[in-house]
Structure 1
C-alpha cells in the first residue's frame, strides 16, 4: 500500500458513499470498452474516421450524463501512417521466405517512405561497400552512426524485441523520417539475417509504405457541475489509440478504452451525488499517443482562464496485478492523501510508480494532478482486445475514483485549498 505523507482529511467516508460505490456497474464498464474497441472505431488513431466516430459517440455519452459538451480542435503534424502492409522477403542463400508483418518485421518511425519493393544483397553497416545493399545494423550501433555507413544503401535493418504475444508494438511518437527505408526485425529473424549478411550471401527485398499526415485532433470537454465552491474535480482519460495497420486490427481496449470507461462510470456516479458547491468536469483527450498533445492543449487553456482543478487521469485499467500505479505531479500532496484514503476504503492497493500519460502535462502546467495506471495486456498491438480487460479491475479503479471524488467533496468548506497545497485540513465539528 502506498503510504502518503500529506494531510489526513478530516471528512470521512460514510454509508452514503458506500451506497454510491455500490452503483458502479461492471457490465456498463465492460460494454463501454467493447464498444470503443469495436470495428466501428478502427483503432482510434488521431485524425482518422474511426477516431472522429469515437469522439462523436463519446460526446453523446457525456450529453446523456447531463454534461454541457464542447469539442476543442487542435492541429497535429506528421502523424505516421503505414498505408499498406509491407512486402518483405529474405533469402539466406538456401531458401527464400516471406516475413510476417507485425511479428517478424515492421517499420521504424525514422523510415523514409518506399512504396515499391526494393531488392538488394545483404551487408553489414560499417563493413564493406554499402551501395545497393540492405544493411544489417550491428547491435550497439546507433541509427545515426548507421547512416554514416550507408551512403547509397537500399535500406537499414534493425533488431527489435517482441512482446509476450509475439508482436512488435506500435508507436506514433518518435524520430522524424531519415533518408533511407528502415525496417525492424524480431530478434530471431534479425540474427538469421545478420548471419546471412556476415556469410556474404543472401538477398533481401522490401518496401516501406509509411507516410506522415497533418491532421486535426479534438478534445471533448464536459462540464457537469459548475465550480461554484473551492473544489473543482477534473477527470481525464485519452480516447485515441495507435490505430489499425492494413490487415492488422489494433483495438486499443486496455489502452485506453478502459480508462475512458472508468471516467464515464465515475462521472455518472459522482454527478448524481456530489454537493452543489463542488465542480465536476471531464476531459476525454485526443492525441495522447502522439506525445500527449491533447492534454498539453487543454492544460494551456485552463491556465489561461485561471482555472485550478484537481486532476485525476486514468490510463490503463485493464489488468490489476498487485497494486495500481500512482504518479503525482504539481501541488498534489493533498490530492494524494485523498486517493490514499480512498484506496484504503475500497481495498485497492496503491504503489508509487510511473504513469507516463496526460497527467504529466497537467502537472507541468502547475495543477495538482494524479495519474492512475492499472495494467494493460497487449500494449499497442492486435492483442489489446476487450476480452483481456478484467471487469474486476475496471470496477476497482472506478470505485477508487468515485471514493476520491467523494472525499474531495467532503473536505471542510474553506479548506479545499489545503487539499491542493498539502496543508493539514482540520476535522469538522462533530465529524470523524
Structure 2
C-alpha cells in the first residue's frame, strides 16, 4: 500500500505515520508510563501535533491509584550444589503484581509445597492458592511459574490485583520446573516493587462541532505505555504509538474531507495500561450520540483486523464493514479489551480496532517492527469508515 493510490485516502502519508512512532519511542519519553515525566512530556508533544493540524486543544487531569512501579532491577539467584544460576529479569523471571515490596535481597532454602517446614523458605508453588499458608508459616516468599512469550520475554504489567503481604516472583515455566525437579538449594531474591498514586492527563483535540443533523465522531487511542524498566527500555511502539499515529493521520485527512455538518474530535488517552482510567474518566463527559472509534495496536495486520463493537453500534459496524471492503482491509470479530469498552459502557456506539502488537510490552516492542503497510491500511480504514458515516 502506498500513498499513490486513487481516492481521498491517497493523502495518507506513510512517512508521517512513521515519524510519529519514531518520536514517541524516543528515550526522552521513557516508555510513556502514566504519571512519569516521560508520559507527561509525550502528552505535551501530542498536544502540539494536534494544534499543527488545526485542533483546539485542551487537557484534563485525573487521579490514578495503585500503579505498580519497579524502582530498582529485581534480583534472583539460585544456588544448588556448587552451581550458582543468576536469573535475568524479564527473561528468566518477572514481578508478580500481588508481590509485597522486597527492597533488599532475601536468602532462604528452596522447597516445594510438599515440604513440612516453610518458615524462611522460598516455596515453589503452582499458583497463589497456597498464599494463606505461606503467610501464616512465615515463608520467605513464593516462586510461581509463568510462561514467556514466543520470543522469550516476560511482558510487563502495571495494574492488577492489590499487592499482598508476601514477596511473589514469577519464574519462567521451564526454570520453575527445573528447580522443582532438581530440588534443594537456596534462593536469594529481591523485588523492589511499590504501589504509587499518580496523575494522568488526557489530551483532547476539537476540530469542529457537528451541525444540525450532523454526526459527531470521536477518534481515540491511548498514548501511555507500561514505562521503561530500571536500566532497560520498553519503547511501546506497537502498543500504542502505532494507534496514536493512525488517529493523528486520520484526523489530518478527515478535517479536509468531511462535510461541514460533521463533528470531529480526537482524544489521546492516558492510563490505559493502568486499567483504562483515562477513558473511564472521559467517557461520561462525551455527548450522547457520539460515535467512537478506538485504535489499539496497528503494527502487524496479519490475516485480519480484530474488531469489537458495543453500544448502539449497528450503523457504525455497517460503515466499518463497507470501509473494509472499500479499502481491502479484512475484518474479523475479536476481543479488544481497550478503551472502547469504557465508551460502550457509557451508552455510546463504540468500536475497538486492533491490527497486531509485535513485542507486546517487552523491550522487543520497537519502532522498526511496526509495519508501514499496516499503518497505512489502518488509517485508510478509519478515514473510509468516518466518511461513510458522514455521507
TM-score normalised to the size of structure 1? 0.87
Q: Tell me the equivalent position of 1:234.
A: 218
Q: 2:300 aligns with which of 300, 309, 319?
A: 319
Choose the corresponding residue for 1:174, options 160, 177, 195: 160
Q: Is the 8 A contact 1:219 1:284 kept in 2?
A: yes
Q: Residue 194 of structure 1 corresponds to which residue in structure 2? A: 180
CA–CA distance in structure 2, aligned partners of residues 191 and 300 of structure 1: 48
1:67 to 55, 58, 62: 55
Match of residue 130 from structure 2: 145
SS at match of 1:355: coil
Q: CA offsets, 1:105-140, max 9 Å, x none?
A: 111000100111010011123521110101100x3x
Structure 2 counterpart of 1:422: none
Tell me whether 1:98 sits opposite 2:86 in the alignment.
yes
Of 74, 87, 96, which aligns to 2:75? Answer: 87
Tell me how far 1:91 sits from its aligned partner: 1.0
Q: Alpha-carbon deviation of 1:18?
A: 4.9
Structure 2 Cα separation of the partners of residues 102 and 92 of structure 1: 22
Tell me if the contact between 2:134 and 2:141 (Cα under 8 Å) persists in the aligned partners: no
- More RCO (CA 8 Å, sep 6+): 1
Secondary structure of 1:97 counterpart = strand
The DSSP-based 3-state class of the residue aligned with 1:207 is strand
Alpha-carbon displacement from aligned partner over 1:284-338 (angstroms, at most 9, x marks no partner): 0001001111111110122xxx432100000000001011011000000110000
1:266 aligns with 2:254: no
- The one of 344, 352, 371 aligned to 1:371: 352
> Following TM superposition, by how much is the alpha carbon of 1:88 offset from its aligned partner in structure 2, in angstroms?
1.5
Partner of residue 119 from structure 2, selected from 131, 136, 142? 131
State the alpha-carbon separation in 1 of the partners of residues 260 and 288 from structure 2: 18
> Is 1:400 paired with 2:381?
yes
| Equivalent in the alignment of 1:210 | 193
Larger radius of gyration: 1
Unmatched 5+ stretches in structure 2 = none
2:204 to 202, 216, 221: 221
Whole-angstrom CA distance in 1 between matches of 2:376 and 2:170: 38
Q: Greater CA deviation, 19-28 or 385-394?
A: 19-28
Size of the aligned set, in residue pairs, is 385
**Are 2:273 and 1:289 equivalent residues in the alignment?**
yes
Counterpart in the other structure of 1:252: 236
Deviation at 1:189, TM superposition (A): 1.3
Measure the CA separation in 1 of the matches of 2:344 and 2:115.
48
User: What's the CA shift string for 1:380-419, capped at 9, x where partnerless?
Assistant: 1001000110000000000000011111111xxxxxxxxx
CA distance in 2, matches of 1:166, 1:41: 25
SS of 2:30's partner is helix
Q: CA deviation at 1:195?
A: 2.1
Secondary structure of the residue that 2:123 maps to in structure 1?
A: strand
User: Residue 93 of structure 1 contacts residue 203 of structure 1 at CA under 8 Å; is this kept in 2?
Assistant: no
Equivalent residue of 1:157, what SS? strand
Shift of 1:267: 0.1
Which of residues 274, 289, 313 in structure 2 aligns to 1:332? Answer: 313
Structure 2 residue matching 1:288: 3-state secondary structure:
coil
Could you tell me how far 1:217 is from its partner in structure 2?
0.1
Distance 1:41 1:124 in 2: 42
The corresponding residue for 1:11 is: none
Q: CA RMSD in A?
A: 1.2
Q: Secondary structure at the match of 2:321?
A: helix
Does 1:114 pair with 2:97? no
SS in structure 2 at match of 1:43: coil
Q: Distance in 2 between matches of 1:393 and 1:145?
A: 45
Instruction: Supply the distance in 1 between the matched residues of 2:146 and 2:256 (Cα, whole angstroms).
Output: 49
In structure 2, C-alpha distance between the alignment counterparts of 1:114 and 1:146, rounded to whole Å: 16
| In structure 2, distance between residues paired with 1:195 and 1:54 | 47
Distance 2:288 2:24 in 1: 30
Which ranges in structure 1 are unaligned for 5 or more consecutive residues?
1-16, 411-432
CA contact (8 A) 1:237 1:263 kept: yes
Q: How far, CA to CA, are the matches of 2:86 and 2:26 in structure 1?
A: 30
Match of 2:227 among 237, 240, 243: 243
- Given that residues 288 and 348 in structure 2 are in contact (C-alpha distance below 8 angstroms), is that contact kept between their aligned partners in structure 1? no
**Per-residue CA distance 1:234-258 (angstroms, 9 max, x = gap):** 0000000001111221000000000
